[in-house]
Amino acid sequence: MNGLGGLNPSPNGVVIGLVQLQLPVVVTPDDLARQTARIVEMVGKARRNLAGMDLVVFPEYALHGLSMDVNPAIMCSVDGPEVAAFRQACIENRIWGCFSIMELNPGGMPWNTGLIIDDQGEIQLYYRKMHPWVPVEPWEPGDQGIPVITGPKGCKLALIICHDGMFPEMARECAYKGAEIMLRTAGYTAPIRDSWRFTNQANAFQNLMVTANVCMCGSDGTFDSMGEGMICNFDGSVIAHGTSGRPDEIITAEVRPDLVREAREGWGVENNIYQLFHRGYVAVKGGAQDCPYTFMQDMVAGTARLPWEDAVKVTDGTSCGFPEPTRTYSPDAKEAAE
């Protein structure tokens, strides 16, 4: 059930539009300004497309394209003109929006940053991609954690970016912090199509959580992004799916956070997000509430190590033309966040 793509929204529904944005080429500040204007135009299209749309979602790389260019001249800041234009577009069109920027980092490589802006133009969610798609992407690993906010119509909303969604721990963290809807923005190309689909569905089902996912679309003359706007219900079923590969198509559906809450409270069989922390509650009161997972224990202790660790061949970005890094990660280095 999706209210005919949101044409017939219910009082408890949240209508989401996923923009399969045409993949741009952005090399200069002028290119960046033109692409900013293009995204602003598409916010207007989304509003005209569906009067009841609550949230319009743009893919990762919507502003910068897939060049992986770290030129400071085309990097953005949260208080810069590009974000200001997005904020104004949300105000003028009375709509929430999810946007992507490559954020200047004075202390290192840029961050791959996602923003959710409300219909009053206020930034409600600020997220830095936790798992850059190595070895292809040069971005600094995110240092802000995964925020969950109160979104349109009171829904609990989270955002992860592209490769983040290949780690079940990311979706689990969103759900654990209360997210009823998880957005996943991406720039993926065709080789990832199958894994994109089944991880979007698995992330939904394993956490009793709606997932709304979208990639860039079309060709920039080198890369071919796949679109694949995909909204999955909390039972893992696909509510809406953009399979045409048509650039600038907006995939829409109504989702029901109230039914997510109902399932999380009322399901017995396959209430996995609860059962993870209450193993075997039929046999023992309250279930086992220990942490039997070695990888979790070792990660917290800082001793996590794979049995095949020494045999891993690709451990930096040199195979993709990036220099070998010399800095070590410091989670306390948050210059651009202050």
Mean pLDDT of 13-27: 98
d(CA 260, CA 208): 6
Q: What is the pLDDT of residue 337?
A: 41
Helical pair 193-207 and 168-176, crossing angle rounded to 10 deg: 30
Residue-averaged pLDDT of the chain? 95
How does DSSP classify residue 275? H
The single-letter code of the amino acid at 223 is F
Residue given tokens 């989270």 in the structure block = 158
Tell me the pLDDT band of 1, cut-offs 50, 70 and 90: low
Residue 223 has pLDDT above 50, yes or no: yes
Residue 266 has pLDDT above 50, yes or no: yes
Residue 326 has pLDDT above 70, yes or no: yes
Q: Tens digits of per-residue pLDDT, 281-321?
A: 999 999 999 999 999 999 999 999 999 999 999 999 999 99
Residue 43 has pLDDT above 90, yes or no: yes
Q: What is the pLDDT of residue 7?
A: 87
Mean pLDDT of 72-88: 98
Tell me the pLDDT band of 184, cut-offs 50, 70 and 90: very high
CB-facing half-sphere around the CA of 318: CA atoms within 13 A: 8
Domains of the chain, residue spans: 3-275
H runs (alpha helix) in the chain: 3-6, 29-49, 81-93, 168-176, 193-207, 257-266, 272-275, 294-301
Tokens (6 digits) for 29: 């500040």
d(CA 60, CA 67): 13
Q: What is the pLDDT of residue 8?
A: 86
Please state the pTM of the whole predicted model: 0.96
CB-CB neighbours of 283 under 10 Å? 8
Tell me the pLDDT band of 335, cut-offs 50, 70 and 90: very low
Mean pLDDT of 94-115: 97
Which one of the listed residues 60, 137, 140, 173 is annotated catalytic? Answer: 60
Q: What is the pLDDT of residue 315?
A: 97
Q: Tens digits of per-residue pLDDT, 140-159?
A: 999 999 999 999 999 999 99
Active site residue 162: yes
Residue 45 has pLDDT above 80, yes or no: yes
Which one of the listed residues 129, 156, 180, 217 is annotated catalytic? Answer: 129
b/e map 290-311, b = 16+ CB within 10 Å: eeeeeeeeeeeeeeeeeeeeee
Active site residue 153: no
d(CA 338, CA 330): 15
Tokens (6 digits) for 55: 């949230």
Sequence-ordered strand ranges (E) for the chain: 14-20, 55-57, 96-103, 111-117, 123-128, 148-150, 156-161, 181-186, 210-215, 217-219, 224-226, 230-232, 238-241, 249-255
| 100 bridge partner residues | 114
Which one of the listed residues 162, 174, 217, 232 is annotated catalytic? Answer: 162
Walk across the sheet containing 210-215 and list its strands.
148-150, 156-161, 181-186, 210-215, 230-232, 238-241
Q: What is the CATH number of domain 3-275?
A: 3.60.110.10
Mean pLDDT of 177-184: 98
Q: What is the pLDDT of residue 333?
A: 55
